[in-house]
Structure 1
């Protein structure tokens, strides 16, 4: 290595942060909990988005993609609107957060343990800070795609 050049640094990859698998409870009604698992995945190429796979004991699993800021905000205050909302549980109980998913066909309320999720999210922000998460987006290409194909989902 030449002394005038900085050492090479590895680009962040998903291998730097393994998925987080949490035991969560799906609330079927006010008193009935269905234990389940959720796997949270972070890809530094799309750092603003966290993929969460809800692993079903029987049947297919379900993958949702959430804004990383929504999950982070929901640990301490009401966060999100529309289809996805998250908020902290009561302070006098074991630290947890509530995650509500709604579609025209489905409504699901999950209780998530706050500690492991908060630590894992903090690790994602060490890999790609919030202020850097939109740096790699090709805004011109995105806008051209919208204008060329206004009804099509962005590719």
Structure 2
């Protein structure tokens, strides 16, 4: 999925899968991590996509929509291609994964703690299994909204 700054908002299901807040490290270079907070949201109406809002201490937040399967696979092996890729870091005391986001405007590498993300993703799969995540999706509306953005009332 691509970065999204549109007014589209995932309707999180807090009673089913509350948002996950994680403290990540954005790697400014090979040796310089910058702590950043991120919120992971799950919408049972669009279960294949996880909305991730990166909330820097200074500046505006940034929203990306990332495939749930890409995040899940990226905890244990190389996953994704193009704008979003994820893979586990080298083995160490606290397992983590690298999340690389790229677009024309942004290139960012984040270190994501694996255990809390894995536990949260498992909870989302208990709500909607991988096999059922595409059931009931209205492809025409989904693609129209994805490509055109939401309808904006004219004045």
TM superposition score normalised by structure 1:
0.82
Judged with a 3 Å threshold, the aligned counterparts in structure 2 of structure 1 residues 131 and 93 are, in CA distance, closer, same or farther, namely: same
Paired position in structure 2 for 1:30: 30
Paired position in structure 2 for 1:71: 71
Shift of 1:154: 6.9
Instruction: Mark the runs of 5 or more structure 1 residues left unpaired by the alignment.
Output: 1-11, 147-151
- Residues matched between the structures, number: 137
CA contact (8 A) 2:74 2:86 kept: yes
* CA shift digits 1:97-132 (9 cap, x unpaired): 000001122110000000000000000000000000
Judged with a 3 Å threshold, the aligned counterparts in structure 2 of structure 1 residues 13 and 39 are, in CA distance, closer, same or farther, namely: closer
In the TM superposition, 1:75-94 aligns within 5 A as 75-94=75-94
Judged with a 3 Å threshold, the aligned counterparts in structure 2 of structure 1 residues 13 and 19 are, in CA distance, closer, same or farther, namely: closer
Looking at structure 2, the residues matched to 57 and 122 of structure 1 have their Cα atoms a distance apart, in angstroms, of 29
Q: Which has the higher contact order (CA 8 A, sep 6+)?
A: 2
SS at match of 1:25: strand
Looking at structure 1, the residues matched to 96 and 108 of structure 2 have their Cα atoms a distance apart, in angstroms, of 16
Looking at structure 1, the residues matched to 74 and 134 of structure 2 have their Cα atoms a distance apart, in angstroms, of 21
Paired position in structure 2 for 1:96: 96
Paired position in structure 2 for 1:105: 105
TM superposition score normalised by structure 2:
0.82
Please point out which of 133, 148, 152 is paired with 1:153: 148
Looking at structure 2, the residues matched to 105 and 93 of structure 1 have their Cα atoms a distance apart, in angstroms, of 34
Could you say what the CA RMSD is over the residues aligned between the two structures, in angstroms? 2.0
Paired position in structure 2 for 1:135: 135
Instruction: Mark the runs of 5 or more structure 2 residues left unpaired by the alignment.
Output: 1-11, 151-155
CA contact (8 A) 1:98 1:110 kept: yes
Looking at structure 1, the residues matched to 138 and 64 of structure 2 have their Cα atoms a distance apart, in angstroms, of 23
